Amino acid sequence: MGKAYKYGENVNTDVIIPARYLNIADPEELAAHAMEDIDKGFAKTVRQGDIIVAGKNFGSGSSREHAPLVLKTIGVKAVVAPTFARIFYRNAFNIGLPILESQEASEKIDAGDEISVDFKSGRIRNKTKKESYQAEPFPEFMTALIENGGLVNYVKRSGGRTDGKTKEQEL
Amino acid sequence: METEKQNDTEKGAESVAGASEEQPDRADKPKRPPMTMTQKILAARASLDHVKPGQFIEANLDVVLANDITGPVAIREFEKMGKKRVFDRTKIVLVPDHFTPNKDIKAAEQAKELRDFAKEQKIVHYFEVGAMGIEHALLPEKGLTVAGDVIIGADSHTCTYGALGAFATGVGSTDMAAGMATGKAWFKVPAAIRFELTGQLGKWVSGKDVILHIIGMIGVDGALYKSMEFMGPGLENLPMDDRFTMANMAIEAGAKNGIFAVDERTRAYMRSHRSKTMEKQAHTYAADADAEYEETFVVDLAEIKPTVSFPHLPDNTKTIDQVGDVAIDQAVIGSCTNGRLDDMVIAAKILKGRRVADGVRCIIIPGTQQVYLDCVKLGYAETFIKAGAVFSTPTCGPCLGGHMGILAAGERAVSTTNRNFVGRMGHVDSEVCLASPAVAAASAVAGKLADPEAVFKSKKRPIRIGKDISKKNKGDRNGKSV
């Protein structure tokens, strides 16, 4: 259970983590600047388990993996939006930040609502409003990636494949 | 440069271009489903007969690219994967271009991390400051990207190489690390939008105006997860540098990739830009006549006007006749979008004999050392300096608010770069208007957003600095210029 932070459409990676901080290598230090160009209070008030709810095309712009990484590092449990920019989408899965696509949840959840998310079923529950919303199910491929703990572990376990199939599965 | 090197002999060109045209299927072979250009490349590099949108595949990679921002993160992930060596030391390309020449100590540490890794792994295509250019201007120039390649880069503007008929897409550092380790990457096969180009660009109108027009039309997520495929009779008159600019900004419409049909201009470019250090084999793929496109837009190039994207999204466009009185503090001409020779030619044409308006900083950054050298040889460097502009060594610098031209609160820049997000070029309360080199140069002279034709017609103003050093200096002994 966590509190919702609400943002608009096209939240881009330059505001999630501005480029002027990209010379910082330490994720904790970097995370202190998360979202500061659109929400100065975010990094100070966000708690472990909170979620971000936003409009369409979340994570547009740069390929910087620092963007999902700072959100994960600072404690964001999931990001909910109608759509995600594709590089952010890949990066989030690769590093293990859960993201959920739901138009309804994006519209109905207000800032401060108490939200819980079941990733397996894609069910998003709004305790404050006593509502629940269904997110798009993850493709099977993505589920496997999450279950294996991200792409790094995948490559390690599958002997040099990037598509999540083990040698046996291919046969 | 294209024209400069076209005299290259045809011999040897075959190994790069034209050798592998797509062969028609044999008549007795069952017909496979139709595919787009992108789908054909992905099918070929995944060793599949065909692919369809939504399908997850694993493709072999021809180039794996990173820079000084994304590279160090990728290197740390690579090390976690337990691999000792990269899959092929000739196919990894590392370009320290974002915060270089090192802007501060932390940037220097990151650049060093990239350099040390390149040394340790004996990476062939590591480009040190001095050889370095802005990655997406540099790789095609060095012949490292050709038609039919599958390219991933830990930089969102990797889609630039689609101008050559390659599948090229931006990824994050972990994907880049997996690519370095395995030589492979997973992809979800994209659906596509077709852009049928007709007509010919008017005076002072370039690929930048076309792509800003298109993004304004379809929106910043108009091509989300999809390919943007450019084809049609309009290609005949569209130079390669304009195509690079257009493919470069496909990501600003949310696209997975932008790709151009391969034609004689593409082949000529590949012939005159050959790599001696990376084995390349071009493969050209045309879209099937009955390939499925979710949408088709016909774009008459003759109707495009100089176009400006206002803050804070690239799709917030107006044509130059609609912009009104918008004062600027800075003009930036360069970047992976517009740092090529054709861009410098246009800027020089407008700035020659004119001067940057009082109170305006004009910063010109050629994309590569070759473009820089060409600017020196062709006299553009002198034109820029005499006009009162800064002429810099290649760097991404100000585009992403790194260095070399950061904006203060309340300041506004016109820039040939690719993003005008909140705080992109500096202070969170600064603004960026995106435009072509012609509009940026004209605006630098006018001190406000300006129509290139109006500025070009205007009376030339005396130059600001510089003396003819060949003549004896009779005047000021302190060397003050007037």
Q: What is the pLDDT of residues B155-182, one digit of tens each?
A: 999 999 999 999 999 999 999 999 999 9
Here the tokens at position B461 are 């103003």
Half-sphere exposure of B11 (CA within 13 A, CB side): 0
B61-105 confidence digits (pLDDT tens)? 999 999 999 999 999 999 999 889 999 999 999 999 999 999 999
CB contact (8 A) between residue B182 and residue A15? no
Tokens of A146: 């999450």
Residue B153 to residues A94, B11, B392, Cα–Cα distance (Å): 15, 31, 25
Between residues 409 and 438 of chain B, which touch chain A (CB distance below 8 Å)? 419, 421-424, 428
Please name every residue paired with B170 in a beta bridge, in sequence order, or none if there are none. B153
* Residue closest to B19 by CA, chosen among B237, B281, B331: B281
What is the average per-residue pLDDT within A36-51? 96
d(CA B423, CA B402): 11
Q: Where in chain B is the domain with CATH 3.30.499.10?
A: 14-21+33-301, 305-456
Q: Categorize the per-residue pLDDT at A159 as very low, low, confident or very high, splitting at 50, 70 and 90.
A: low
Over chain B, what is the mean pLDDT? Answer: 92
Backbone angles phi, psi at B216, to 5 degrees: -60, -35
- Looking up tokens 């979710």, which residue turns up? B294
- Residue B182 and residue A20: Cβ atoms within 8 Å? no
Whether the pLDDT of residue B2 is over 50: the answer is no
pLDDT band at A168 (very low <50, low <70, confident <90, very high): very low
Shortest Cα–Cα distance, B78 to chain A (Å): 8
pLDDT at B8 over 70: no
In angstroms, rounded to a whole number, what is the distance separating the alpha carbons of residues B69 and B99? 8
The helices-and-strands tally (H runs, E runs) of chain B is: 14, 20
ipTM of the complex: 0.90
Backbone angles phi, psi at A111, to 5 degrees: -55, 135
Average pLDDT score over residue span B208-231: 98
Contact B184, B221 (CB under 8 A): no
pLDDT score of A34 more than 80? yes
The nearest CA of chain A is from the CA of B182 a distance in Å of 5
Query: B24: how many CB neighbours lie within 10 A of its CB?
Result: 7
Touching A: B residues 327-386, CB under 8 Å: none
Tokens of A3: 């509190």
DSSP helix/strand/coil, B463: coil
> Using the beta-carbon criterion (under 8 Å), do A60 and B107 form an inter-chain contact?
no
Domains for chain A: give ranges and CATH numbers: 2-137 (3.20.19.10), 139-171 (no CATH)
Identity of the residue in A18, A94, A165 whose CB atom sits nearest the CB atom of B423? A18
Place of tokens 């076209």: B6
Amino acid at B359: G
Cα distances (angstroms) measured from residue B132 to each of A120, B4, B138, B142? 47, 21, 8, 11
Extended beta strands in B160-303, E state:
167-170, 184-188, 192-198, 227-231, 257-260, 283-284, 295-300
**Tokens found for residue B479:** 């060397």
B305-456 falls under which CATH superfamily? Aconitase, domain 3 (3.30.499.10)
Q: Pick the range with the lowest mean pLDDT from B78-82, B270-274, B349-353.
A: B78-82
Mean pLDDT for the stretch of residues B140-146: 98
Q: Tell me which residues of chain A, numbers 36 to 65, contact chain B at a CB-CB cutoff of 8 Å.
A: 37-38, 56-57, 60-65
- Compute the distance between CA of residue B306 and CA of residue B440 in angstroms, rounded to an integer: 11
Residues of chain B above pLDDT 70, percent? 90
Measured between CB atoms, does A166 come within 8 Å of chain B?
no
**Per-residue pLDDT, B351:** 97
Q: β-strand A2-6 against A114-118: which pairing, if any?
A: antiparallel
Give the pLDDT score at A140. 79
Spatial distance between the Cα atoms of B373 and B200, rounded to a whole number of angstroms: 30
Please determine, for residue B444, whether its predicted confidence score (pLDDT) is greater than 70.
Answer: yes
pLDDT digits (tens, 9 = 90+) for A104-151: 999 999 999 999 999 888 999 999 999 999 998 877 777 777 777 778
With contact defined as beta carbons under 8 Å apart, do A71 and A53 qualify? no
Average pLDDT, stretch B200-226? 98
Cα B205 from Cα B303, distance rounded (Å): 10
**Residue (of A66, A162, A40) closest to B177 by Cα position:** A162
Nearest-CB residue to A86 (from B106, B174, B256): B256
CB-hemisphere CA count at 13 Å for A125? Answer: 9
Which helix or strand (DSSP H or E) is residue B332 part of? strand B330-334
Q: Do A20 and B56 touch (CB under 8 A)?
A: no
* Band (B222; pLDDT cuts 50, 70, 90): very high
Render the burial of B184-223: b for 16+ CB within 10 Å, e for the rest.
bbbbbbbbbbbbbbebebeebbbbbbbbbbbbbebbbbbb
- Residue to mutate among A23, A40, A156, with most B CBs inside 10 A, is A23
DSSP assignments along B67-98, one per residue: ETTHHHHHHHHHHHTT-SS-S-TTTEEEE--S
- Nearest of B447, B423, B421 to residue B434 by alpha carbon: B421
| B150-153 β-sheet, strand order | B125-126, B92-95, B63-67, B150-153, B167-170
Average pLDDT for B396-406 = 97
Computed over every residue of chain A, the mean pLDDT equals: 90
Predicted local confidence at residue B446, as pLDDT: 97
For B421, which of A14, A25, A154 is closest by C-beta distance? Answer: A14
For residue B442, what is the enclosing H or E element? Answer: helix B437-446
pLDDT at position B98 is: 98
Q: Residue B266 has which token pair?
A: 């593409």
Contact B77, B177 (CB under 8 A): yes
The reported pLDDT for the residue numbered B30 is 72
What is the DSSP pairing of strand A131-134 with strand A123-126? antiparallel
What sign does the CA torsion over A13, A14, A17, A22 have?
positive
B43 within 8 A of B35, measured Cβ to Cβ? yes
| Token code pair at residue B40 | 């054909």
Percentage of residues in chain B with pLDDT exceeding 90? 88
Length of chain B: 482
pLDDT of residue A165: 60
Non-local (6+) Cβ contacts of B399 within 8 A are: B332, B334, B335, B336, B415, B417, B418, B419, B424, B425
Query: Rounded to whole angstroms, what are the CA distances from B53 to A38, A90, B291?
Result: 35, 17, 12
Helical axes B437-446 vs B341-351, angle rounded to 10°: 30
Which fold, B14-21+33-301? Aconitase; domain 3 (3.30.499)
Please report, to the nearest 10 degrees, the dihedral formed by the alpha carbons of residues B216, B218, B220, B223 taken in order. -150
Residue B59 host element (H or E): strand B56-60
Distance CA B446, CA B357 (A): 6
Q: In Å, what is the CA distance from B111 to each residue of B95, B128, B236?
A: 9, 10, 41
Q: How far is CA B318 from CA B303, B310, B389, in A?
A: 14, 8, 26
